[in-house]
Structure 1
């Protein structure tokens, strides 16, 4: 099998249901989920099995789910032959884990700077790439059919990365650094409701 096909040499790529320019918003959206998946792989590689076997398993699960999301985004239209793969249960799982990690991490009142241990810093990168993917999917859904679960999943996924990055720092006894000019925006570890 050859790795290269030469079919994309003119700036076009195949999606499920046709071909698109490589800078089409649909391609950018699923390409960004692929980028996110790579950063998750980096985070998994940085986490020690001894302290983080639970988180590593979750991140690997999320990598598979991001492939599902990418496949859904690469689909011009869902059909009986090619149904959407991303499901509500994926979001439910993230919410359950976020609640657990909020309780495990130290109390938080202010915004924090992304960083800490190398693996936690990578998880903060994952958080921001998830937000970027979310923005691209938001734009795509204004223009074309998209599985609505994907947008919700990416939104919750960025929250998950924030929560798990804090837990990684806590387990390694690395203190989060508060943004020094931050107002108090969290109560009891959770963000204040916006008005």
Structure 2
């Protein structure tokens, strides 16, 4: 378990921060950018959970929040560090997301148009989380371009963005559905 006595360390006042192994890096280091995107994604999921959420999906999202912390813990230490963190996101977590996606796929009709984010608060917030998830995935790929990171983390984020899209669809309010995209030609 983590124990934090003091939140204000003042170590970041000069534009740097420390990784999990004590390595000092700039606040715009690709690893920090990725960790920041994961943190933002987790905060958006927490906001989604602040409103009414069906129990099953609440449990799924809470599990995802824990997975994102696991991924962040894995990423906070560089692969070449003397401190070695075993992969925390494995094929198990990826398969769990794929299982959930399969369950949603069976319940949802095929799409005949793109969906514009909006409608009720819960699906709109899940669409926002999806876009942040896509950024986190891109940030992780940028980091992977520079150094070794676990492939499973990248796969996990890819599946997660799909799951968040489907969760936004399944939680739509029939009285306030997300609008459909109307191409310019049709809108005229």
Superposition deviation, residue 80 in structure 1: 7.5
CA distance in 2: counterparts of 1:14 and 1:173, whole angstroms = 48
The alignment partner of 1:13 has SS state of: strand
CA distance in 1: counterparts of 2:95 and 2:83, whole angstroms = 25
Query: Is the alpha carbon distance of 1:105 and 1:179 closer, same or farther for their aligned partners in structure 2, counting shifts above 3 Å?
Result: same
Task: Output the TM-score relative to the length of structure 1.
Answer: 0.85
Counterpart in 2 of 1:76? 78
CA distance in 2: counterparts of 1:58 and 1:12, whole angstroms = 35
Task: Output the TM-score relative to the length of structure 2.
Answer: 0.88
Counterpart in 2 of 1:3? 7
Counterpart in 1 of 2:18? 14
In structure 1, the gaps of 5 or more residues are 183-195
Determine whether 1:27 maps to 2:44: no
Q: Output one character per residue of 1:51-85: Cα deviation in whole Å (capped at 9) or x when no partner.
A: x0000000000000000111122120177752121
Q: How many residues align?
A: 178
Query: Is the alpha carbon distance of 1:77 and 1:14 closer, same or farther for their aligned partners in structure 2, counting shifts above 3 Å?
Result: same
Counterpart in 2 of 1:132? 135
The alignment partner of 1:95 has SS state of: helix
Counterpart in 2 of 1:185? none
Counterpart in 2 of 1:161? 164
CA distance in 1: counterparts of 2:85 and 2:177, whole angstroms = 46
Determine whether 1:64 maps to 2:66: yes
Correspondent of 1:53 among 52, 55, 67: 55
Determine whether 1:147 maps to 2:150: yes
CA-based RMSD of the aligned residues comes to 1.8
In structure 2, the gaps of 5 or more residues are none
The alignment partner of 1:91 has SS state of: helix
After alignment, is 86-95 or 121-130 more displaced?
Answer: 86-95
